[in-house]
Structure 1
Amino acid sequence: MELQILFEDGEALVINKPGGLPLDRPRAGGPCLEERLDELRLGFQREPAPVHRLDQDTSGCLLLARNPKALKRFSAAFEERLVEKRYLGIVAGTLDEDEGTIALSLSKVSTAKEGWRMIPARKGKPATTHWRKLDEKNGLTLVEFRPETGRTHQIRVHAASGLGVPLLGDPVYGSKKGAARTMLHAAGLTVPRGEKEPIVASCPLPADFLALGFSDE
Structure 2
Amino acid sequence: MDILEILYRDEYLVAINKPSGLLVHRSLIDRHETRFAIQLTRDQIGQKVYPVHRLDKPTSGVLLFALDSDTARLLNAQFIAGLVQKTYLAVVRGHTDASGIIDYPLKEELDKLSDAHADQDKLAQEAITHYRRLATTELPYPVGRYASARYSLLELQPKTGRKHQLRRHMKHIFHPIVGDTTHGDGKHNSLFREQFACQRLLLHASSLHLTHPHTHEALMLEAIPPEDFGDVVRLLLPLQ
Q: Given the two structures, how large is their TM-score scaled by the length of structure 1?
A: 0.85
Q: Greater share of helix residues, 1 or 2?
A: 2
Does the 8 Å CA contact 1:4/1:15 hold for their aligned counterparts? yes
Structure 1 window deviating more from structure 2 (140-149 vs 192-201): it is 192-201
State how far apart, in whole Å, the 2-side matches of 1:188 and 1:14 are: 11
How big is the shift at 1:30?
3.0
CA distance in 2, matches of 1:85, 1:34: 20
Question: Following TM superposition, by how much is the alpha carbon of 1:27 offset from its aligned partner in structure 2, in angstroms?
Answer: 0.6
Larger radius of gyration: 2
Correspondence for 1:6: 7
- Alignment RMSD (CA, Å): 2.4
Partner of 1:159: 170
Q: Give, as a single letter, the amino acid of the residue that structure 1 aligns with 2:61.
A: G
CA distance in 2, matches of 1:153, 1:109: 8
Q: Hey, what's the Cα distance between the residues in 2 that align with 1:41 and 1:98?
A: 42
Q: Any idea what the Cα deviations from partners look like across 1:87-117, whole Å, max 9, x if unmatched?
A: 011112222x1001000000035698xx99x
Q: Match of 2:108, SS?
A: strand
SS at match of 2:232: coil
Amino acid at match of 1:203: A
Task: Give yes or no for the alignment of 1:49 onto 2:30.
Answer: no
2:226 aligns with 206
1-structure distance, mates of 2:206, 2:77:
21
Q: Distance in 2 between matches of 1:58 and 1:111?
A: 18
Which piece of structure 1 moves more, 124-133 or 101-110?
Answer: 101-110
CA distance in 2, matches of 1:111, 1:152: 11
**For 1:89, what is the secondary structure of its paired residue?**
strand
Is residue 40–residue 48 contact of structure 1 (8 Å, CA) maintained in 2? no
Matched-pair contact (CA < 8 Å) for 2:89–2:205: yes
State the partner residue of 1:171.
Answer: 181
Distance 2:62 2:184 in 1: 24
Once the two structures are superposed, residues 170-216 of structure 1 have per-residue CA deviations (whole angstroms, 9 ceiling, x without a partner) of 0110134123122110000011136522332111122122222348x
Amino acid at match of 2:185: S
1:190 correspondence with 2:209: yes
Post-superposition CA distance 1:120-161 (Å, at most 9, x none): xxx400000000000113322110001110110000011110
- Name the structure 2 match of 1:119: none
Identity of aligned residues (%): 32
Q: How far apart in 2 are the matches of 1:109 and 1:151?
A: 9
- Alignment: residue pair count: 204
Local SS of the residue matching 2:72: helix
Unaligned runs of 5+ in 2: 117-122, 140-149, 193-197
Name 1:107's counterpart in structure 2: 107
1:136 aligned partner, one-letter code? T
In the alignment, the residues of structure 1 paired with residue 63 and residue 111 of structure 2 have an alpha-carbon distance, to the nearest angstrom, of 30
C-alpha contact 2:136 2:153 (8 A) present in aligned 1? yes
Contact 2:209 2:219 in 1 (8 A): yes
Contact 1:41/1:48 (CA < 8 Å) preserved in 2?
A: no
Normalising by structure 2, report the TM-score: 0.78
Deviation at 1:24?
Answer: 1.9
Cα distance, 1:3 vs structure 2 = 0.9
1:149 to 148, 157, 160: 160
Residue equivalent to 1:39: 43
Question: The residue matched to 2:74 in structure 1 has which SS?
Answer: helix
